Copies of this chain bind each other. A is one copy, B any other.
Amino acid sequence: MDDDQVFKALADSTRRHLLDRLFERDGRTLTELESELEMTRFGVMKHLRVLEDAGLVVTRREGREKLHFLNPVPIRLVHDRWIDKYTEHRVAALADLKHQLEETA
């Protein structure tokens, strides 16, 4: 769960998309995640490996399947690196505002 691995893992849009899918619903298999993407199984597997090495995804084997789960803790640590407790309220309010503006747009 090294710093650099986390940030590098988040830098690719395909990997972020995979995290989005797991955020919607956990416990998916490689095959299931692959079916949604315009990419070979090998590409998706590589991406999942990067996410797992970074600690953003944890896995559990179930027979011949491998189930993938999202781990949000490293993302919170990213947050805490540049947002201290004193400014968090103000920044969170600005972020909420942005979310609302995007909903109505």
Interface residues of A (CB under 8 A from B): 3-4, 7-8, 10-13, 16, 19-20, 23, 70, 72-73, 75-83, 87, 91-92, 94-95, 98-99
Contact of A77 among B7, B8, B80, B98 (CB under 8 A): B98
Give the number of times this chain occurs in the complex, counting copies. Answer: 2
Give the residue among A19, A70, A76, A77 with the most B Cβ atoms within 10 A.
A76
> Known: A11-B10, A78-B78, A79-B79. Is A72-B99 also a contact (CB below 8 A)?
no
Q: Which residues of B contact A19 (CB under 8 A)?
A: 82
Q: Write out the residue numbers on chain B whose beta carbons fall within 8 Å of the beta carbon of A3.
A: 13, 16
A-B interface, 4 closest residue pairs, ranked by CB to CB distance from nearest: A11-B11, A76-B95, A79-B79, A76-B91
